[in-house]
Amino acid sequence: MDFSFSCPCGQALVTSVEKRGTEVKCPTCSATVMVPAAAPAAPASAKQTGSALTAKVITRYRDGYAVAGTLCAEGAQMKRLGFFAIVGGLVSYLYGLWYGPDRVGVAISLAAVGLGAFMVALGVFVSALGQMVRAALDSAVHGSPFLSEADKAKAMGL
């Protein structure tokens, strides 16, 4: 593998990696130049720390998005169930009215409608909470100094 470095005179020198740590003669200024022993290690490790941090930040946001997604899904499910309870309660109420009102039947039907309405309200609240969490995460990801544009998209699951 070839490897390049420069002589103090400015001449770019190319040698093989096996020559590291040995001396070569510069063809331009004839000086004896030491081939650098190893590639500078600091930037590579700093970069690694950065990407480990980025991965952690992305994981944290993705966990947050998972929670927000669960809230939205649970909220939607509650709204659906509540809606069915309301419809079921109303149908049973009308059925009771048609075939002669019976107090217990009416009470159960109205209780179903009430419970359904409560579930719909709760579902609306829970999915709104999920959307708020998502919005908060969106602005946190946007403002994060740790993430590049591509990382932000990754964190948002786009």
**6 touches Zn ion (CB under 5 A):** no
Nearer to Zn ion, 26 or 140 (CB): 26
**35 touches Zn ion (CB under 5 A):** no
Could you give the CA distance from residue 113 to residue 87 in angstroms, rounded to a whole number? 7
DSSP letter string over 101-151? --HHHHHHHHHHHHHHHHHHHHHHHHHHHHHHHHHHHHHHHHH-TT--HHH
Contact 115, 85 (CB under 8 A): yes
Residue 52 identity:
A
The least distance separating Zn ion from the CB of residue 11, rounded to whole angstroms, comes to: 4
**9 touches Zn ion (CB under 5 A):** yes
Could you give the CA distance from residue 12 to residue 125 in angstroms, rounded to a whole number? 67
Nearer to Zn ion, 6 or 59 (CB): 6
The least distance separating Zn ion from the CB of residue 7, rounded to whole angstroms, comes to: 3
Nearer to Zn ion, 5 or 83 (CB): 5
Nearer to Zn ion, 34 or 136 (CB): 34
Binding residues vs Zn ion (CB under 5 A): 7, 9, 11, 26, 28-29
